[in-house]
Structure 1
Amino acid sequence: MAIALEHFNFIVRRSTIEDKYPGGWDQCLIDHASSLGTRVWYDEYLFRDGAMNPIDMENLVNAWRDIGFQAVLINGEKKWLDCCVIDESFETLSLSCDWIEIDVAREFAYLKDEDPAEVVGHHGF
C-alpha cells in the first residue's frame, strides 16, 4: 500500500508509533480521530499527517519530538529517523530518509521494499 501526498506531509512508520507513541497505535488513532480522512490517513505501514505551510509543519514535528520521536539524526549527516517530512513539490525529502520511497509522478509515498499497489488518501479513506 501507499499514502497519498499533498502540501506538507509528516510521515511515521506505524511500527515506530507502536513502539514510541504514548499508548501505542490505538492511542494515536484516538488522539487523531477528529483529523482522520481530512489531514490524517494511514495504510498498513505508514501514518501521514499534514500541514498547509512550513510553520505548521515545524509545529507538528516539534509536537512529535516532544513525545519522544527523534526527527533528525546527526551523525556525519542530517537525515530523518523516526519520522520524515515531504514538502509539496514531492520531488525530494527535505532530508534523506532510509525507509521511504516517493512516486513523484503519482504523488504518493510508501515504505521501502513494500508494494505500493493501492494508494490511501483523504478522498477514499
Structure 2
Amino acid sequence: MAVMTEFIDLIVPVAIIEEKYPGGWEQCLSDHKRAIGGRVWFDDHLFRDGAMNPGAMDALLKAWWKMGFECYTEKDGVRQWKDLCVYEGLHGGLQMPCEWLGEDPATRTLYLRGTPPGEIKGRDWDLCDEWEAPVFPGL
C-alpha cells in the first residue's frame, strides 16, 4: 500500500506510532478522527498528516517531538530523519535522507520501503462534496 502526497507531508510509520504514541495506534486514530480523510490518511504501514506551509509543518513536528518521537538522528556524519519524516513533493521530496521511506514520483506516493506500493490511500474526495464555496455578494 502507499499514501498519496500533497503539499507538505508528515509521514510516520504505524509501527513507530504503536510503540511511541501515548495510547498507541488506536489513540492516534482517535486524536485525529476529525482530520481523517481531510488532511490525515494512512495505509497499513504509514500515517500521513500534512500542512500547506512550513510554519504549520513546524508546529506538527514540535507536537510529535513533545510526544517522544525523535525527528532526527545523525549517521556517518549525515543528519537524517528517524521516527518520522517530512516530504515536500513540490520542492524535491525529502530534504534529508529517510532510510525507511520509499517513493514513487510517477504516482506522487510514498510507501514503507520493503513493502509493495500497491493500492493508494489518500484524501476522501467525498468530503469535498460537503464543503460549500463562500458566497461573495456582487459576484
TM-score bracket for this pair, using the shorter chain length: over 0.9
Report what 2:137 is aligned to: none
Written as runs of structure 1 = structure 2, the 5 A alignment for 1:86-97 is 86-89=87-90, 91-97=92-98
Q: TM-score, normalised by structure 1?
A: 0.95
Equivalent residue of 1:28, what SS? helix
Report what 2:133 is aligned to: none
Q: Where in structure 1 do 4 or more consecutive aligned residues deviate above 3 Å?
A: none
- The number of aligned residues is 125
CA contact (8 A) 1:5 1:90 kept: no
How much has 1:92 moved relative to structure 2? 2.7
Report what 2:122 is aligned to: 121
How much has 1:74 moved relative to structure 2? 2.5
How much has 1:77 moved relative to structure 2? 1.3
Structure 2: gaps (5+ residues): 127-139
Q: Which amino acid aligns with 1:73?
A: T
CA contact (8 A) 2:89 2:108 kept: no
CA contact (8 A) 1:13 1:46 kept: yes
Report what 2:25 is aligned to: 25
What RMSD over aligned residues (CA atoms) do the two structures have, in Å?
A: 1.4
- Cα distance in 2 between the residues matched to 1:90 and 1:110: 19
Residue range with higher mean Cα deviation, 4-13 or 75-84: 75-84
- Cα distance in 2 between the residues matched to 1:80 and 1:124: 30
- Cα distance in 1 between the residues matched to 2:101 and 2:125: 22
Report what 1:80 is aligned to: 81
The one-character-per-residue Cα deviations of 1:23-67 (angstroms, maximum 9, x if unpaired) are 000000000001000000000000000000111001101100011
State the structure with more CA Rg.
2
Percent pairwise identity: 42
Q: Which amino acid aligns with 1:92?
A: G
CA contact (8 A) 2:5 2:110 kept: yes
The one-character-per-residue Cα deviations of 1:73-118 (angstroms, maximum 9, x if unpaired) are 0242110000000013264311100000111121000000111110
Structure 1: gaps (5+ residues): none
Report what 1:12 is aligned to: 12
